[in-house]
Amino acid sequence: MVIVVFHYGNEYSTQPNTYQIAVSHACIDNGADIVIGSHPHVIQTIETYNGKPIFYSLGNFVFDMSNSATHESLMVEMDLNNNTANIKVHPMVLVNYMPQLMNNASSTQLLENLKNESPVNMTITGGEGIISFPIE
């Protein structure tokens, strides 16, 4: 499995820029199984491209920014089982600059909004998102 992690994107933008999209697509086209980005300090859209997930920005995990827009983030957990990868997407919230899991209602709302804005194949159950894809 090939996982590519980038520090890219425009700060505070909830949408990936053209460079992020181009370089992420090129990684998948050249064999990457998943692309994960950071830098914008906010969550950006998630994409399923050629069957593989791209997380353009997970947001902040631990950071001391006062801007409330930077207090939501995502944590991803991957389970590899035979030829399938199952990714659990856990919404997080920073409380006193420390990450905590969001409650189910807030988590579900964040994931529903993200799914509506993103070209991603994700199911939402019990306050967490699930993205499954085959690995070769």
User: How confident is the model at residue 79, as a pLDDT?
Assistant: 94
**Average pLDDT, whole number, for the chain?**
93
For the record, the structure tokens of 43 come out as 């969550």
pLDDT exceeds cutoff 80 at 14: yes
Tens-place pLDDT, residues 32-67: 999 999 999 999 999 999 999 999 999 987 777 777
User: Could you tell me what percent of the chain has a pLDDT over 90?
Assistant: 80
Residues contacting 85, CB < 8 A, separation 6+: 1, 33, 34, 78, 79, 132, 133, 134, 135
- Whether residue 92 contacts residue 75, with contact meaning beta carbons closer than 8 Å, is answered with yes
Least confident of 17-26, 28-37, 75-84: 75-84
Q: What is the pTM of this model?
A: 0.93
> How many angstroms separate the Cα of 105 from the Cα of each of 65, 84, 94, 109, 124?
24, 29, 16, 6, 12
